[in-house]
């Protein structure tokens, strides 16, 4: 009978299918096969909808589980846990208490099989009934605790994602960091993906690991002590040595996966961006009859991505072989550890029933201790994901911090000083006759030493509108970028002597920009609320300026100023309508100085003249980039850029 009982215990230890039947007593995911199959099936499903460009091969960094990973991970933790009294810290403490309480209940549940051996061996009916009732109560309690444990993990995931994303947003939108990072820098790929996608994946993976990681030290200490009490030093030493060996093997197998995973994400971004490119440019592509060419190019990116996925799967194959091997060998090791004291005669004075009870208890202790170690080994796959995300987020954060400091050093006025965040609009600037003062300014593109403009001295004052002309590539838009602070001049001094916004300077870029939101939000952009105040008076202003811009029909199309639309403004508006809407915004904000970069290129000369005439009536001074001679009558000076750094400044004769 004892032999049959020991044989049954050995089957529980060594056969995952039988062990899964025993799980209701342990109430813990100890089935290594099922856990790893689930991980394998879902591994690549976690990496979807990635948007952006990939870096050239020579710029790919190689993330590792090294000191740099630890430093970046600790810096991210400082964001997630800003103080000991923060909400995240309190939730984490709650999670710790729940998990420890759950483990206490699991221990009691784990002893139930050994107690069943006792009451069944002694044919104790009353004891059997009481034990069954206790087992049911413990199982219900443990199920409840486990559910609250998962619930708290989910709350932590949401809170972590909120804090980390808002932290990156704060750095990303500080000054003009977002412009510099996306336009002037090429060493950080896909900042949008890192902020939106990688942060989400990182927080989800970390929250799934949290409960296991925080409870493991306590479980290991307690069950090591219990194992030592029953098997002596041989049991804990054998299990520790087994775990160390497994960790070393899996660490070796896991190293190449981290780098390959990061590279795969870049290729996912390439593939996603290609489809986004077709979506945004569907009409031009259709005019070119480019379906076949784009099909070929898109498939080419798909094949590169799939080849990388195959390589990643090949590397993961060896990792999963190692994980599964150590999972199954662990069950055999637990049987060996239990068998040694039995065959050495340590428990020779016990009766068969008492020995069966003791063997069952020892089996639970050893199996659970081995399970804790094997679960830590199983976390290697999740840890490889977390390492990749940690490097990508950490690298972005370091770059944003560095750029934010430089941006603060270079800022003339911060956006908060411009009043961008004030709901009631911008405050009026102090009266000033001059907007820009340039002294011996030279300009080159950031990636080139070739001068576009040399030694330009210029004073732009109120009422003295300036028209900038020149062939393509002579630096017209580059000059506006320097005036707007997007670029820095290679030499000379550039001073902006007025504020940005109403009563100051407002730029209309060559490509109109529209945010998500209602028609009202497009007109008042970048204000967050109506200016100067809300109500019917402001509605009348918006409607009047839309009519002046020739867009009175747009109100009917959007079904009102405040009706939420589910379309992309770039998809429903023609190029001319987009430029008209930009002028409606300009009329609403009424700056002293309007900087226009070919803002009427898609409009007829007649419409262009009407829009400029309205701007003049509203008291605006223009700084325009354009090619039509008809624009000269709205300006006082012409700055002609001749190329090679040469320029000419001429006064326009009034006829």
Residue-wise pLDDT tens digits, 105-128? 988 888 888 788 778 877 888 888
Confidence (pLDDT) at 400: 93
Percent of the chain with pLDDT over 70: 83
Do residues 512 and 406 lie in contact, with contact meaning Cβ atoms separated by under 8 Å? no
Q: How confident is the model at residue 526 (pLDDT cuts 50, 70, 90)?
A: confident
Cβ neighbours around 472 below 10 Å, total: 8
- Predicted confidence band at 237 (pLDDT cuts at 50, 70, 90)? confident
The model's pTM: 0.68
Q: Say yes or no to pLDDT of 290 above 90.
A: no
Out of 109-123, 357-371, 514-528, 541-555, give the one with best mean pLDDT. 541-555
The region of weakest confidence among 150-159, 184-193, 226-235 is 226-235
Range 623-649 average pLDDT: 92
Examine the pLDDT at 441 and tell me if it is beyond 90: yes
Q: According to DSSP H, which parts of 232-290 are helical?
A: 234-280, 282-287
CB-based contact 403:180 (threshold 8 Å): yes
**Top-confidence residue, 40 or 147:** 147
Ordered by start, the domain boundaries in the chain are 2-402, 418-651
The pair of structure tokens assigned to 563 is 């009706």
CATH top class, domain 418-651: alpha beta
8 Å CB contact between 637 and 464: yes
Residue among 269, 267, 293 nearest 281 (CA)? 293
Neighbours of 410 (CB within 10 A): 11
* pLDDT score recorded for residue 263: 86
The answer to whether residues 96 and 214 touch, using CB atoms and an 8 Å cutoff, is: yes
Q: Which pLDDT band, with edges at 50, 70 and 90, does 535 fall under?
A: low
Higher pLDDT, 358 or 429: 358
Return the pLDDT at 28.
34
Instruction: Give the separation between CA 399 and CA 405, rounded to whole angstroms.
Output: 10
Could you give the strand order of the β-sheet that contains 505-508, starting from the edge strand earlier in sequence?
505-508, 593-597, 621-625, 466-470, 637-643, 646-651
Give the number of C-alpha atoms closer than 13 A to the C-alpha of residue 653, restricted to the C-beta side.
1
State the average pLDDT over residues 430-456: 85
Q: What angle do CA 606, 588, 549 make, to 5 degrees?
A: 25
**Helix boundaries (H) for 122-233:** 125-172, 177-179, 191-193, 199-231
Question: Burial code of 42-66, b = ≥16 C-beta within 10 A, e = fewer?
Answer: ebeeebeebbbebbeeeeeeebebe
Using the predicted structure, report yes or no on whether residue 47 has a pLDDT greater than 80.
Answer: no
Give the separation between CA 203 and CA 226, rounded to whole angstroms: 35
pLDDT band at 73 (very low <50, low <70, confident <90, very high): very high
How many secondary structure helices (H) and strands (E) does the chain include? 21, 9
Q: Is 411 exposed, middle or buried (0-12, 13-18, 19+ CB in 10 A)?
A: middle
pLDDT range class, residue 285, cuts 50, 70, 90: confident
Position 198 scores a pLDDT of 92
Per-residue pLDDT tens digits for 365-397:
877 887 777 777 667 667 788 888 999 999 999
Q: Is the pLDDT of residue 207 over 60?
A: yes
pLDDT in tens, 251-268: 788 777 877 887 888 888
Q: What's the mean pLDDT when you consider all of the chain?
A: 79
Q: Exposed, middle or buried, 621 (CB in 10 Å: 0-12/13-18/19+)?
A: buried
Q: Which of 64-73, 237-246, 523-532, 564-573 has the lowest mean pLDDT?
A: 523-532
Q: How far apart are CA 180 and CA 187, in angstroms?
A: 11
**What's the CA gap between 149 and 142, in Å, rounded?**
10
Q: Of 487-496, 528-537, 627-636, where does mean pLDDT reach its minimum?
A: 528-537
pLDDT-derived band at 50, boundaries 50, 70, 90: very low
List, as own/partner pairs, every contact residues 290-298 make where C-beta atoms lie below 8 angstroms and the sequence separation is at least 24, other chains included.
Answer: 298/271, 298/274
Long-range contacts from 608-614, C-beta under 8 angstroms, 24+ separation: 611/549, 611/580, 611/583, 614/548, 614/583, 614/587
Q: Each residue of 585-620: pLDDT tens digit?
A: 999 999 999 999 999 999 999 999 999 999 999 999
- Tell me the residue length of the chain: 655
SS3 category, 587: helix
- pLDDT band at 228, cuts 50/70/90? confident
Tokens 């971004």 identify what position? 269
- Residues 2-402, CATH architecture: Up-down Bundle (1.20)
Residue 55 has pLDDT above 70, yes or no: no
Cα–Cα distance for residue pair 597/512, rounded to 1 Å: 10
Nearest to 42 by CA among 244, 158, 205, 169: 205
**Lowest model confidence (mean pLDDT) among 287-296, 349-358, 474-483, 560-569:** 349-358
Residue of 410 and 467 predicted with greater confidence: 467
């Amino acid at each position: 009978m004892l032999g049959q009982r020991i044989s049954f215990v050995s089957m529980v230890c060594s056969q995952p299918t039988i062990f899964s039947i025993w799980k209701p007593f342990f109430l813990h995911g100890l089935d290594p096969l099922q856990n790893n199959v689930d991980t394998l099936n879902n591994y690549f499903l976690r990496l979807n909808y990635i948007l952006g460009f990939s870096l050239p091969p020579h710029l790919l960094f190689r993330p590792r589980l090294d000191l740099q990973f630890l430093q970046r991970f600790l810096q991210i933790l400082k964001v997630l846990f800003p103080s000991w009294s923060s909400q995240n810290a309190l939730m984490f403490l709650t999670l710790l208490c729940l998990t420890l309480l759950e483990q206490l209940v699991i221990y009691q549940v784990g002893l139930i099989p050994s107690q069943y051996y006792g009451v069944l061996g002694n044919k104790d009916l009353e004891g059997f009934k009481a034990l069954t009732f206790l087992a049911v109560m413990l199982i219900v309690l443990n199920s409840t605790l486990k559910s609250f444990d998962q619930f708290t993990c989910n709350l932590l995931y949401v809170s972590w994602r909120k804090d980390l994303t808002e932290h990156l947003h704060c750095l990303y939108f500080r000054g003009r960091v977002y412009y510099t990072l996306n336009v002037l820098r090429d060493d950080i790929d896909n900042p949008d993906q890192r902020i939106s996608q990688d942060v989400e994946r990182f927080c989800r993976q970390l929250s799934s690991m949290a409960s296991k990681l925080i409870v493991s030290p306590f479980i290991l200490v307690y069950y090591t002590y219990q194992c030592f009490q029953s098997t002596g030093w041989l049991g804990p030493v054998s299990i520790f040595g087994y775990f160390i060996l497994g960790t070393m093997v899996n660490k070796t197998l896991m190293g190449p996966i981290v780098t390959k995973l990061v590279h795969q994400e870049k290729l996912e971004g390439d593939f996603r961006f290609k489809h986004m490119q077709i979506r945004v440019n569907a009409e031009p592509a259709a005019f070119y009859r480019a379906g076949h060419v784009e099909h070929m190019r898109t498939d080419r990116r798909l094949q590169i991505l799939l080849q990388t996925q195959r390589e990643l799967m090949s590397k993961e194959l060896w990792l999963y072989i190692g994980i599964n091997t150590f999972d199954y060998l662990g069950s055999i090791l637990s049987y060996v550890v239990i068998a040694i004291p039995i065959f050495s005669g340590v428990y020779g004075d016990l009766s068969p029933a008492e020995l069966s009870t003791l063997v069952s208890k020892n089996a639970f202790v050893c199996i659970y201790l081995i399970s804790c170690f094997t679960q830590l080994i199983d976390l290697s796959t999740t840890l490889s994901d977390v390492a990749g995300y940690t490097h990508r987020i950490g690298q972005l954060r370091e770059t944003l911090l560095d750029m934010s400091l430089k941006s603060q050093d270079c800022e003339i006025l911060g956006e908060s000083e411009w009043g961008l965040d004030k709901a009631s609009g911008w405050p009026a600037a102090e009266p000033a006759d001059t907007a820009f003062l340039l002294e011996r300014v030279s300009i080159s593109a950031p990636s080139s030493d070739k001068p576009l403009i040399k030694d330009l001295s210029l004073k732009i004052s109120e009422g003295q509108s300036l028209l900038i002309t020149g062939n393509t590539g002579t630096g017209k838009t580059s000059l506006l970028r320097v005036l707007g602070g997007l670029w820095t001049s290679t030499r000379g001094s550039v001073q902006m002597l007025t504020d940005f916004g109403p009563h100051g300077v407002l730029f209309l870029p060559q490509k109109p920009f529209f945010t998500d939101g209602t028609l009202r939000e497009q007109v008042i952009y970048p204000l967050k609320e109506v200016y100067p105040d809300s109500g019917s008076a402001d509605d009348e202003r918006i409607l009047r300026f839309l009519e002046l811009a020739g867009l009175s029909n747009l109100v009917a199309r959007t079904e009102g100023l405040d009706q939420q639309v589910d379309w992309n403004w770039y998809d429903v508006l023609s190029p001319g309508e987009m430029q008209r809407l930009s002028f409606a915004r300009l009329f609403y904000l009424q700056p002293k100085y309007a900087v226009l970069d070919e803002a009427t290129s898609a409009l007829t000369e007649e419409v262009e003249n009407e829009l400029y005439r309205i701007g003049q009536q509203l008291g605006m001074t223009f700084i325009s980039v354009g090619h039509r001679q008809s624009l000269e009558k709205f300006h006082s000076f012409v700055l002609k850029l001749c190329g090679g750094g040469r320029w000419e400044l001429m006064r326009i004769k009034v006829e």
